[in-house]
Chain A
Amino acid sequence: MRVAGYGRVDRGAALSFRFDGRPLRGFAGDTLASALLANGVRLVGRSFKCHRPRGLLAAGSEEPNGLVSVAGVPNLRATMVELAEGLEAQAQNAWPALGLDLMAVNDLFAPFLGAGFYYKAFMGPGRTWERVYEPLIRRAAGLGRLGRAPDETWRETAYAHCDLLVIGAGPAGLMAALTAGRAGRDVILAEEDAAAGGRLLAEDEEVDGRPGADWALAVARDLAAMPNVRVMMRTAVTGAYDGGTYAALERAAPGHAGPRETFWRIVAPRAVLAAGALERPIAFADNDRPGIMLAGAARAYLHRWGAVAGPRVAVFANNGGAARTARDMARAGVEVTGVFDAREGAHVVGSRGRQGLRAVTVEAGGRRHAVPADCLAVSGGWSPNVHLACHLGARPVWDDRLAAFLPPQDGVPGMVPAGAAAGVFSTAGCLASGVDAAVAALGVDALELPRAEDGAYEIAPLWHVPGKRRAWLDFQNDVTVKDVQGAAAENYRSVEHMKRYTTQGMAPDQGKSSNLLALAVLAEATGRSIPETGTTTFRPPYVPVPVGAMGAGGRGRRFAPERLSPANDAIAGRGAPTVEAGLWHRPSYFPAPGEGWEAACAREAAMVRNAVGVADVSTLGKIDVQGPVAGAFLDFVYANGISTLKAGRARYGIMLREDGHVMDDGTVARLGDDHFLLTTTTAAAGPVMRHLEFVHQCLRPEMDLRMVSVSDQWAQFAVAGPRARAVLGAVLEGGLPDPFPFMACGAVSVGGVAGRLFRISFSGELGYEIAVPARYGTALYAALLAAAEAEGGGPYGMEAMNVLRIEKGFLTHAEIDGRVTAHDLGLGRMVAEKDCIGRVAAGRPALTDPARPRLVGVRTVAAGDEMTAGALLFAKGNRPTAPNIAGHVSSVGWSTVSGRMIGLGFLKHGPERLGEVVRLVDRLRGVWTDVEITAPCFYDTEGGRMRG
């Protein structure tokens, strides 16, 4: 119900919303939680396991019970949902309705559903667990349903840097930020709530003679006006990481267009942890009824939102919160039906009212009596919010006087706790603590302190009231005192075991309201003190973070940058579908109208063999290597000799890894005495460049040479086929250089533009590659295609390129897959007699064993049969099982020249088994074929066509 004259909601801005379809009204400034309470709605959810009716326990992000779905997003805490016009929220985990949840029958089975029940019950008979119990239990339990549609929500990631990160904008945090800000330091003040003030928003407190909430608002405005201070509201710091790095999740204000969340990575050499303290309940029999909430939350609902859970409030506490809550309620005109202070021997031992509290049972002076109440405000004391200080593995420190854990000193380098997070609970103490923390962190001057109350915190520890009926600890996972005691009895005495066995603290709220209680119960059950029992490990994130926020920008095409060739638009204009090679997009084939890929591929390959084709090879890696000892350096990184290459010539080279396996292959062109141009496989350009720099900087720093990546500088096109000369003759200024033998390279000119020509062939036909600076790529491509089409040729793509090179036995990373050596590829003689990367390891006996699978060609025996890349090879007559694997197929394609599918692969003793028929087996795709082993070349084995 709403209390007149209380709350900071805007009563002039009424809002309509619906909860489970029921139309209700609230005000701007309400959360969904406060609006529900104001409307007399106490039942907000059903518990995970037992489907017990539950109400709001808290008023902040630690709320365990009030989980709702809004607009298809499940598991939102109603306390964190800002009310907006037209909001539609659904309760979770109840069927068919929150008020009549048939799954509550689970509660009758509670004796069978205790902690670890799935280790002890529902075992048999037979496979009943998998087939019956598990699916049923899974459907019966759970919190919210995930939508099936892809999440298109707009989110961002971002980075920020500051001198001081202040976590929390309560009194301590505001003073810390002000102290550092006035000293001219760069400050980021992050507050999880939508408004600054912390507990000042929830209490009837004055600072400097005015309401604490007003003081906080004014300070926040001052801070926001400082150019060196960045105030981030609705921003929860979710984790502390190494190197002074923090993660934070910023939520957009409701109704705001733009990214819903921004996930920040903040670098702050110093931080003030002013994250406050969280209140604990006291466990007693049936302590989970709707209407039973934390006393501090009851005061927050009253002061901040003008709402109470019902007209009659009782109070139960082991600290001064009892008197304070009773006083505040009475002042607001709410009937206080009882104040039970455990320090005076009064305990609540039970409650009544299944779907909403009706009465509590109190024991005092040996006698029990029932007390009517719609709301029981409970306080078991306050726990400093130590999470972030423990994220790097440090453990919190027990304080007997406070009966709570304090953050460890230097748990996170550079982080200073302040205020309630440091165990300081009076307002004046918090204000001073904030200033002190900023001074300690940065060495800046202290500020004068505003006036505020400085009361003492007096508590007598009480964790649970013993009783026969279940007393709840972890509301989210339905873990009771009995469960923890049972775990101890079954010898799960370590707190880490108790946690996992009972699942206490493993729910989305990370046990914020139950950890210390469970720990205390375990300590009691095992005869140890609380510090002896210890705590479990704290891990980020402090509050749930959507994966979509952490990974913002990582969906679809934005997953990685796209690299486009200079001829990309022209290629797209011809309707060529693309394939990804590394980050690059390359054309697969150029379909004629109505042509599928297979027909296009066959046509393009035939076109290259019989006329001429033009292919875009701009995407290959290109590295400029220059310097007086460039040749010697390349001798060291390539397996074969490079320094003997003459200027104006190119050579095929293979690079090994230091472990003797082939890393990459490519062409090396010598453009001058001290100038080489290397090419790499498209996707390997980055790793090869990095490797070359490693060799230079780390192994051969004395060698005088320099390397620069020029991959994007040049547009480059292959012109291949018997009519290639005619095409180039039409395009090059002055025609083709003559002579220009196979593997020659040199400077050419195209319409006044300086370019380079290489006579190299990946197709096995007469072939050239012509390169111009990338800005002329589109124009050169068009000119080459025009000339090619005039010769009966045209463009060809990756599919045809692949068939052409397989026909010749040329290699790609399908063969060079990281597991093969030069010897496996039949290139053992390329490894020259010189020290080079990988040479020693390549000579290991196991790597030169002839029984290793070695490169062969494969072709189907029957012309129409199928082969697949990745298929395994078995000797005919051997069962196709793992021990009999004789090899595999690495590449396949339909070869017009051979009139069947051909491929390359690796076979044990391969070169000695030419002509043998083996069995190709691909179980994944259901292919079983007889194939013949051949030499790895199906066309023009002498190479006359490309050398002519």
Chain B
Amino acid sequence: MVELTATLPLDDGPLEAGGARLRLVESGPITALAPYKGAEARLSAALQVAHGMGFAGPGQVGQAGPGRCIWAGLRMAWLVGVRADEGLAAHAALSDLSDGWVCLRLEGAAEEVLARLTPLDLRRGAFPEGRSARSELAQMPALFVRDAAGFEMFVMRSMARSAWGEIALAMQGVAARG
């Protein structure tokens, strides 16, 4: 009888440099919620009932307990941290992305480090806490989420090592400038 053990996408441990701290985060389940035509309101209601938050509009992040609904694209949001209620499938196409995307967390002098990696306007006025944005991280597609302590960046699993390496190098660049 074959047993399958899970492998982490990255072996790299937490990294501290340039006043910033980088680590891999286990985000829990990730389900893409893509509502069908005209079903967004019904999906939002169903989400509210099943998970405690509505369907995230552009840039929004809803939170209820361990679960978050994070805006991730045109008429698309991700349910992160909890398994999606099957009833949601009546209103939206559900796709399991739990293994497809990896979450990296950057705290501390995150803005200074990320300035080297993304064209996003990271000023608090433009990108407040509790918001999400899709943009590039060192040429890789990424979903950025900002909270009080820093940023979470979701990148594709296949690119996780490249993403870690680029962030680490940017952290060293900031550290070297002093």
In the assembled complex, the Cα of A563 lies from the Cα of B76 at a distance in Å of 24
Does the CB pair A561–B140 fall under 8 Å? yes
Q: Does B144 contact A (CB under 8 A)?
A: no
Task: From B30-38, B49-57, B79-87, give the one contacting chain A.
Answer: B30-38
Q: Does A711 contact B (CB under 8 A)?
A: yes
In the complex, what residues of B have CB within 8 A of residue A848's CB? none
Q: Does A624 contact B (CB under 8 A)?
A: yes
Q: Does A123 contact B (CB under 8 A)?
A: no
In the complex, what residues of B have CB within 8 A of residue A186's CB? 123, 125
Tell whether A566 pairs with B93 under 8 Å between CB atoms, given A712-B99, A713-B100, A773-B99: no
Interface bits A550-576 vs B (CB < 8 Å: 1, else 0): 000100001011111110000000000
Does the CB pair A562–B36 fall under 8 Å? no
In the assembled complex, the Cα of A553 lies from the Cα of B138 at a distance in Å of 9
Does the CB pair B139–A560 fall under 8 Å? yes
In the complex, what residues of A have CB within 8 A of residue B25's CB? none
Does the CB pair B123–A750 fall under 8 Å? no
Task: From B63-71, B145-153, B154-162, give the one contacting chain A.
Answer: B154-162
CB distance from A224 to the nearest CB of B (A): 14
Query: Can you give 24 contacting A-B residue pairs, CB < 8 Å?
Result: A161-B123, A186-B125, A258-B175, A259-B173, A259-B177, A553-B138, A558-B165, A561-B139, A561-B159, A561-B163, A563-B158, A708-B32, A710-B95, A713-B97, A750-B2, A751-B2, A753-B4, A774-B9, A774-B99, A774-B157, A776-B7, A779-B3, A779-B4, A780-B4
Indicate which residue in A256, A560, A563, A777 contacts B177 across the interface (CB closer than 8 Å).
Answer: A256
CB distance from B3 to the nearest CB of A (A): 5
In the complex, what residues of A have CB within 8 A of residue B175's CB? 258
Q: Does A783 contact B (CB under 8 A)?
A: yes
Task: From A152-160, A809-817, A884-892, give the one contacting chain B.
Answer: A152-160
Q: Does A267 contact B (CB under 8 A)?
A: yes
Q: Does A627 contact B (CB under 8 A)?
A: yes
Indicate which residue in A158, A713, A731 contacts B115 across the interface (CB closer than 8 Å).
Answer: A158
Indicate which residue in B74, B121, B139, B176 contacts A267 across the interface (CB closer than 8 Å).
Answer: B121
Q: Does B129 contact A (CB under 8 A)?
A: no
Indicate which residue in B100, B125, B170, B176 contacts A712 across the interface (CB closer than 8 Å).
Answer: B100
In the complex, what residues of A have CB within 8 A of residue B101's CB? 712
In the complex, what residues of A have CB within 8 A of residue B12's CB? none
In the assembled complex, the Cα of A158 lies from the Cα of B174 at a distance in Å of 11
Does the CB pair A775–B158 fall under 8 Å? no
Q: Does B118 contact A (CB under 8 A)?
A: yes
In the assembled complex, the Cα of A561 lies from the Cα of B9 at a distance in Å of 15
Q: Does B44 contact A (CB under 8 A)?
A: no
Q: Does A698 contact B (CB under 8 A)?
A: no
In the complex, what residues of B have CB within 8 A of residue A566's CB? 7, 157
From residue 586 to 631 of chain A, which have CB atoms closer than 8 A to chain B? 619, 624, 626-628
Inter-chain pairs besides A733-B2, A774-B99, 8 sampled, C-beta below 8 Å: A561-B163, A626-B95, A711-B158, A712-B101, A713-B95, A713-B100, A714-B99, A750-B2
Q: Which residues of A contact B (CB under 8 A)?
A: 154, 156-161, 186, 252, 256-259, 262, 265, 267, 553, 558, 560-566, 583-584, 619, 624, 626-628, 697, 704-708, 710-714, 730-731, 733, 750-753, 772-780, 783
In the complex, what residues of B have CB within 8 A of residue A772's CB? 4
Does the CB pair A774–B100 fall under 8 Å? yes
In the complex, what residues of B have CB within 8 A of residue A627's CB? 36, 93
Indicate which residue in B75, B96, B120, B161 contacts A562 across the interface (CB closer than 8 Å).
Answer: B161
Does the CB pair B157–A779 fall under 8 Å? no
Q: Does B88 contact A (CB under 8 A)?
A: no
In the complex, what residues of A have CB within 8 A of residue B21's CB? none
> Nearest chain-B residue to A228 (Cβ)?
B123
Does the CB pair B93–A712 fall under 8 Å? no
Tell whether A775 pairs with B6 under 8 Å between CB atoms, given A156-B173, A561-B140: yes
Q: Does B14 contact A (CB under 8 A)?
A: no
Indicate which residue in B4, B100, B161, B176 contacts A783 across the interface (CB closer than 8 Å).
Answer: B4
Does the CB pair A563–B170 fall under 8 Å? no
In the assembled complex, the Cα of A157 lies from the Cα of B119 at a distance in Å of 10
In the assembled complex, the Cα of A772 lies from the Cα of B98 at a distance in Å of 12
CB distance from A698 to the nearest CB of B (A): 13
In the complex, what residues of A have CB within 8 A of residue B139's CB? 560-561
In the assembled complex, the Cα of A774 lies from the Cα of B118 at a distance in Å of 27
In the assembled complex, the Cα of A154 lies from the Cα of B175 at a distance in Å of 14
Indicate which residue in B7, B76, B177 contacts A252 across the interface (CB closer than 8 Å).
Answer: B177
> Nearest chain-A residue to B11 (Cβ)?
A569
In the complex, what residues of B have CB within 8 A of residue A780's CB? 4
In the complex, what residues of B have CB within 8 A of residue A714's CB? 99-100
In the assembled complex, the Cα of A779 lies from the Cα of B4 at a distance in Å of 5
Interface centre among B8, B120, B123 (most CB of A within 10 A): B123
In the complex, what residues of B have CB within 8 A of residue A753's CB? 4
Q: Which residues of B contact A (CB under 8 A)?
A: 1-9, 32, 34-37, 74-76, 92-101, 115-116, 118-123, 125-126, 138-140, 156-159, 161-163, 165-166, 170, 172-173, 175-178
Does the CB pair B7–A706 fall under 8 Å? no
In the complex, what residues of B have CB within 8 A of residue A712's CB? 99-101, 156-158
> Nearest chain-A residue to B30 (Cβ)?
A713
In the assembled complex, the Cα of A399 lies from the Cα of B119 at a distance in Å of 40
Does the CB pair A775–B119 fall under 8 Å? no
CB distance from A897 to the nearest CB of B (A): 33
Does the CB pair B100–A159 fall under 8 Å? no
In the assembled complex, the Cα of A262 lies from the Cα of B113 at a distance in Å of 13
In the assembled complex, the Cα of A704 lies from the Cα of B75 at a distance in Å of 13
Does the CB pair A779–B138 fall under 8 Å? no
Tell whether A775 pairs with B99 under 8 Å between CB atoms, given A156-B170, A561-B139, A780-B4: yes
In the assembled complex, the Cα of A29 lies from the Cα of B17 at a distance in Å of 30
Does the CB pair B123–A156 fall under 8 Å? no
CB distance from B137 to the nearest CB of A (A): 9
In the complex, what residues of B have CB within 8 A of residue A159's CB? 115-116, 118-120
The list of the 3 closest CB pairs from A to B, nearest first, reads A258-B176, A713-B100, A706-B34
> Nearest chain-A residue to B158 (Cβ)?
A563
> Nearest chain-B residue to A773 (Cβ)?
B99
In the assembled complex, the Cα of A564 lies from the Cα of B121 at a distance in Å of 30
> Nearest chain-A residue to B32 (Cβ)?
A708
In the complex, what residues of B have CB within 8 A of residue A252's CB? 177
In the assembled complex, the Cα of A259 lies from the Cα of B120 at a distance in Å of 22
CB distance from A673 to the nearest CB of B (A): 12
In the assembled complex, the Cα of A154 lies from the Cα of B36 at a distance in Å of 49
Does the CB pair B156–A257 fall under 8 Å? no
Tell whether A157 pairs with B116 under 8 Å between CB atoms, given A252-B177, A706-B36, A751-B1: yes
Does the CB pair A710–B100 fall under 8 Å? yes
In the complex, what residues of B have CB within 8 A of residue A158's CB? 115-116
In the assembled complex, the Cα of A706 lies from the Cα of B31 at a distance in Å of 14
In the complex, what residues of A have CB within 8 A of residue B32's CB? 708
In the complex, what residues of B have CB within 8 A of residue A773's CB? 96, 98-99
In the assembled complex, the Cα of A510 lies from the Cα of B2 at a distance in Å of 71
Indicate which residue in B2, B8, B100, B125 contacts A711 across the interface (CB closer than 8 Å).
Answer: B100
Does the CB pair B162–A561 fall under 8 Å? yes
> Nearest chain-B residue to A732 (Cβ)?
B2
In the complex, what residues of B have CB within 8 A of residue A156's CB? 116, 170, 173
Does the CB pair B166–A713 fall under 8 Å? no
In the assembled complex, the Cα of A560 lies from the Cα of B120 at a distance in Å of 19
Tell whether A776 pairs with B6 under 8 Å between CB atoms, given A564-B158, A624-B93, A706-B92: yes
In the complex, what residues of A have CB within 8 A of residue B138's CB? 553, 561
Does the CB pair A160–B115 fall under 8 Å? yes
In the assembled complex, the Cα of A365 lies from the Cα of B30 at a distance in Å of 90
In the assembled complex, the Cα of A752 lies from the Cα of B139 at a distance in Å of 37
In the assembled complex, the Cα of A776 lies from the Cα of B2 at a distance in Å of 12
CB distance from B146 to the nearest CB of A (A): 15
In the complex, what residues of A have CB within 8 A of residue B121's CB? 161, 267
In the assembled complex, the Cα of A705 lies from the Cα of B139 at a distance in Å of 29
Does the CB pair B177–A258 fall under 8 Å? yes
In the complex, what residues of B have CB within 8 A of residue A619's CB? 158
In the assembled complex, the Cα of A697 lies from the Cα of B73 at a distance in Å of 13
Interface centre among B157, B158, B166 (most CB of A within 10 A): B158
Indicate which residue in A160, A563, A583, A776 contacts B4 across the interface (CB closer than 8 Å).
Answer: A776
In the complex, what residues of A have CB within 8 A of residue B74's CB? 697
